[in-house]
Amino acid sequence: MNETRTSSPRVEPLSAAEAVAAAGDFAELRAGPAGLVWNAFDPADGSCRLWLWRGADAQCLTPDGFSARSRVYEYGGGAFCLGRDSLVFVNDADQQLYLQPLTGGTPRAVTQGERRYGDLLQAGEQVLAVEESHTDERVEHRLVAIGLGDGSRSVLFEGADFYAAPVLSEDGRQLAWIQWQRPAQPWTATRLYHARLQADGSWGEVRCVAGDTGEEQALQQPGFDASGRLYCLSDRNGFWQPWGEREGAWQALPAAAADHAGAPWQLGACSWIPLGPESYLASWFEDGYSRLGMRLEDGSLQHHASAYSRFRSLAVDCDHLYVIAANPLASSAVLAIRRDDGQVRVLAGGRSPLPPERISQPQPLHYASGDGQAHGFFYPAQQGESLPPLLVFIHGGPTSACHPVFDPRIQYWTQRGFAVADLNYRGSTGYGRNYRQALQHNWGVVDVEDACAVVAHLAERELIDPARAFIRGGSAGGYTTLCALVRGGVFRAGASLYGVSDPVALAHATHKFEGDYLDWLIGDPQRDAERYRQRTPLLHAERIQVPVIFFQGELDTVVVPEQTRAMLAALADNGIEAEAHFYPGERHGFRQASNLAHALDAEWRFYCRVLERP
C-alpha cells in the first residue's frame, strides 16, 4: 500500500521560513551488500549527509564538519560510492575523497591536493572517478583510479574534453563510459566507449561503440546486465530510450516512446538499470509526469508506485527496488518497493507541512505558442479572488525541467492568493529531442514567447487576471524573466534571482562545462554579434517599464554581482523602480536557509507593494 505521511492540519499560510525548511531533498542513493545509502540535503545548514538503512531505522553516517558534495563540472554529482563494509565520498569543503566504515566514525582522507572528484565507482580496493584539475592555463578532465589504501593515483583515460558515467561489468573485466568533445553538450552529442581488462591489469582494446556514426545522438547512463551485455540510453530515435549491443550492432529495446532520463547536468544519475537481455527497471516521462516500471523478458511491463509523479536515482537488490520519489502532496522520499508484490515503504522523507486539502495540486498545461506548443503545470490559488494574480515560474538551465511534485515555494504563493504557472517552455527536457533542440539559437525568443503566451492562455480560460501577471526565475530563468520584461506589455513586475542580464559577459566568465553553451543557445558572439545585442537585457533596459527585484550572491562566479549592479544602475537611470538584495556568503544558487527565507519574503512584499496590497 502506498504511504504518504503528513503532519497535522494548519490554518495560517506557510511562512517563508517554513517553506524553506520543507525543501529538504535527496541527491542520490546506492544499494549494496551492507544496505542502502542515500545522500540527504538539509536546508537548515546546507549540508549533504549520508544515511545508511539496513532494514530497520536509518542512521546518519556523516559526522559534523563533513558534507558529501562534488563540484566536478561545477554541478557535481556521483558524490559517493558504496563498498562491502565502507563507503567513499567527496567532501564539499576540499573536494577530496574520504573513506568511511559503515559502522561510523571519523572519515579518513584518501586523497590530498587541489583536484576535484565525482561520479565515484568502487572497484575492489580502488575507486574509479572523473577527475578535474585546474591550472592557470586550462581545466582538464580524465578518468582515474585511486587506491583506497595509499591514495595512489593512476590515469585510466585522458584526452577528451569531458568524461562521465564509468561503469563496470559484474565480473569487473569490462569498463564503459561516456565522453564528449567541445562544443557539444552532454544532451546534444556524446560517445560511448568500452574497454576490456588485460592480463597485466591495464585497460586495453578501447573502442567507441556508439555515437561515432555521423548521426548526432546524445548517449547517457551505460550499464551492463548480469551476463556482461552493454546497454545505454540513446536519443537517436527522438527520445532517450534503452538500447543494447547485439553482435556488434545496437538495437532499441522495447520501450515507451518517451524520455527515460532528463538532461545530465549532474553526474551520477540513474533513471534506468539493465537487468537482462530484454529486461530493465526504468522511469520515463508521460505528459510531464514520471512513471516507474520493470520491463520483463516476456515483454510485459510491471508498473510501480503509481501514487508518485517523479522518480530519480534507481537502485535494486534481490528483494527490493529503491528510488527517490515525489508526488504533489509531499516532499521527496526514499522508497523501498518489494519486488514480489510491489508494496511501497517510505524509508525517509515524504512529509508535508500542509494537510492535503490545503495543497494546490498541479494541472497539466498544453498551449499554443509561436509556431509550436509549450507545456507546464498550473497551480490554482488557494484563496482570494475568482480571477487571481498569476506568478509565472521559469526554471533554470535552461535545458532543464520542472516537475509536478510538492514544491513548498509554489505553495507559499498559492496560499497567498497567487495562481502559479510552472513552465516547461520549448527547450525543456522530458518531451523528446526535438522539443529540447527547439532552444538552439532561440534562447531569449521561444522561452519568452512561451512565458507570455501562457498568460493569454490562462486568461482565455478565465483562470487568472492577466492585468496582474508576474514573472520570476533564477539563473537562466532570470534571463528569460528580464527578456520578457524588455518585450513588455504582459507582466506587471518581475524577479530575477542571480539572473543573466549580459550573455556576452557571461560567456567570458563561465566555466568549461558551459564554455560553448551560449554558442548553442544564441550563436557565435562575434559572427552573431547583432543577435547578442538584440537579446541582451542590459542593452535594452530602457524598454523595461515595470518594477524589478533582484537577488544576488556576492560570491557568484557564474553570474557575477557586477552584472546585477549594472542592470540596477541602468534601470535607475531610466527612473524604473528596482530593488536588490545582495548576500555576502552566497554563490550561484542560494543554500543558506536564512537567506532563502529572506529572499522569498522580500519577493512577496515587493509584489504586495506593486499590487498596493496592505
Over the stretch 432-462, which tens digit does the pLDDT of each residue have? Answer: 999 999 999 999 999 999 999 999 999 999 9
Q: Class assignment of domain 356-611?
A: alpha beta
pLDDT, mean of residues 131-137: 92
Confidence label for 57 from pLDDT (cuts 50, 70 and 90): confident
| Whole-number pLDDT of residue 43 | 87
| Whole-number pLDDT of residue 2 | 42
- 219 has a pLDDT exceeding 50: yes
SS (H, E, C) 207-232: EEEECCCCCCCCEEEEEECCCCCEEE
Q: How many residues does the chain have?
A: 614
Distance CA 266, CA 118 (A): 10
**pLDDT digits 0-9 by tens, 379-411:** 999 977 889 999 999 999 999 999 999 999 999
Question: At CB < 8 A and 24+ separation, what contacts does 231-238 make?
Answer: 231/274, 231/280, 232/176, 232/178, 232/192, 233/260, 233/261, 233/271, 233/272, 234/210, 235/259, 235/432, 235/433, 238/432, 238/433, 238/434
Distance CA 196, CA 495 (A): 52
> Which residue carries 572497484 as its cell?
123
Amino acid at 319: D
pLDDT, mean of residues 483-498: 97
- 344 has a pLDDT exceeding 80: yes
Q: What distances in angstroms separate CA 77 from CA 28, 182, 210, one per listed residue?
A: 8, 20, 24
Amino acid at 59: Q
Distance CA 96, CA 253 (A): 39
DSSP of 582-610 = EETT--SS---HHHHHHHHHHHHHHHHHH
Sign of the C-alpha dihedral, residues 429, 435, 440, 444? negative
Question: What average pLDDT does the chain have?
Answer: 94
Query: Within the chain, what is the greatest distance between any pair of CA atoms?
Result: 77
| Whole-number pLDDT of residue 9 | 45
> Which residue carries 551485455 as its cell?
229
The phi, psi pair for 339, rounded to 5°, reads -75, -25
Name the strand (E) or helix (H) holding 162: strand 162-168
Cβ distance 28 to 20 under 8 Å?
no
Cβ distance 442 to 427 under 8 Å?
yes
Prior bond of 183 cis (ω within 30°): yes
Sign of the C-alpha dihedral, residues 579, 584, 590, 592? negative
Cβ distance 404 to 484 under 8 Å?
no
pLDDT, mean of residues 595-614: 94
| Whole-number pLDDT of residue 11 | 65
Point out which residues pair with 281 in neighbouring strands. 273, 294
Point out which residues pair with 346 in neighbouring strands. 335
DSSP of 479-528 = HHHHHHHHH-SS-SEEEEES--S-HHHHHHH--GGGTTHHHHHT--TTTT
Our CA angle for 608, 613, 614, nearest 5°, is 110
- Name the CA dihedral angle for 80, 396, 600, 505, rounded to a multiple of 10 degrees: 110
Nearest residue to 80 (alpha-carbon basis) of 29, 125, 126, 123 = 29
**pLDDT digits 0-9 by tens, 226-268:** 999 999 999 999 999 999 988 778 999 999 999 999 999 999 9
| Whole-number pLDDT of residue 8 | 43
Distance CA 92, CA 362 (A): 35
pTM of the complete model:
0.94
- 10 has a pLDDT exceeding 50: no
Confidence label for 113 from pLDDT (cuts 50, 70 and 90): very high
Judged by DSSP in three states, 548 sits in strand
Name which residue leads in pLDDT, 3 or 553. Answer: 553
**pLDDT digits 0-9 by tens, 500-539:** 999 998 888 888 999 999 999 999 999 999 999 999 999 9
pLDDT, mean of residues 276-292: 95
| Whole-number pLDDT of residue 1 | 40
| Radius of gyration for the chain, computed over Cα atoms and rounded to the nearest angstrom | 24
Here the cell at position 535 is 537579446
Cβ distance 518 to 397 under 8 Å?
no
| Whole-number pLDDT of residue 201 | 87
| Whole-number pLDDT of residue 214 | 72
SS (H, E, C) 48-62: EEEEEECCCCCEECC
**pLDDT digits 0-9 by tens, 13-34:** 999 999 999 988 999 999 998 8
| Whole-number pLDDT of residue 6 | 45
Confidence label for 277 from pLDDT (cuts 50, 70 and 90): confident
Q: What distances in angstroms separate CA 297 from CA 274, 279, 323, one per listed residue?
A: 11, 5, 22
**pLDDT digits 0-9 by tens, 288-300:** 999 999 999 888 9
CA 162 to chain centre: 18
Burial of 473 (0-12, 13-18, 19+ CB in 10 A): buried
Q: Where are the domains of the chain?
A: 356-611
Distance CA 551, CA 583 (A): 8
Nearest residue to 328 (alpha-carbon basis) of 403, 253, 399 = 403
| Whole-number pLDDT of residue 104 | 81
Point out which residues pair with 179 in neighbouring strands. 163, 191
